[in-house]
Amino acid sequence: MTLVGSVGGAQSFVRTLRSESDLYEVRRDDEMSVHALATLAGNFARGGPWFAINPIVAGTDSEAPRTSDSASGDEPRAHEGSHVYSVDPAGGVMEDDYTVTGSGMQLAYGTIEGQYDPEMSLDAARDLAVRAVAAASERDTGSGNGVTVATVDEEVSVETFDETGAALDA
């Protein structure tokens, strides 16, 4: 999950989502799907006290659920695999191949939309994401100051770099 907005609100939001996800798992002996987690995040954003947050929820669903994702009234998992959702501050939830949030998002989208290919490798997608942050950092003072790159497949990998150039060289 990534967040943009108020730090305190974001931290509280993440703690609440983690608690609800943990409760779901204990009660159902099954992990909450990424879709259900994104829907729950949207419900919390719409009805909660969190201000000025715009989270991205991403993850993989590796197997079909034993139960439906009824924590938020949703249907069972539509499909296995990787998912990326953006949650707007009003609680709207949208799934896409990629998403961007933050003050430099228009600049980052410009970089991604011109070069994204649904068939690209994970390494190529990672490099494209870093180039998008670098492009946003050049023109937007609220973007950059390093980059944290998270890749999600069978494993989760998180790398933090002080400068986008270092991330491109890695």
Burial profile 78-101: b = 16 or more Cβ within 10 angstroms, e = fewer: eeeeebbbbbeeeeebeeeebbbb
Sign of CA dihedral 20, 21, 27, 32: positive
CATH of the structural domain 7-96, one choice from 3.40.50.1110, 3.60.20.10, 3.10.20.30, 3.30.70.940:
3.60.20.10
DSSP letter at 130?
Answer: H
pLDDT for the residue numbered 120: 96
Domain ranges of the chain: 7-96, 105-169
pLDDT for the residue numbered 74: 52
User: If residue 138 lies in a helix (H) or strand (E), which one and from where to where?
Assistant: helix 122-139
In angstroms, the Cα distances linking 101 to 2, 28, 87, 89, 132 are: 9, 33, 9, 11, 12
pLDDT for the residue numbered 77: 47
Angle at 137 between CA 135 and CA 138, to 5 degrees: 70
pLDDT for the residue numbered 78: 55
Is residue 8 within 8 A of residue 40, CB to CB? The reply is no
Closest residue by Cα to residue 102 from 144, 146, 131: 144
In angstroms, the Cα distances linking 118 to 39, 96, 97, 106, 169 are: 24, 11, 8, 20, 23
Q: Profile the chain (170 residues) by mean pLDDT over runs of 10 residues.
A: 72 92 95 93 82 84 58 56 88 92 91 96 93 90 81 82 78
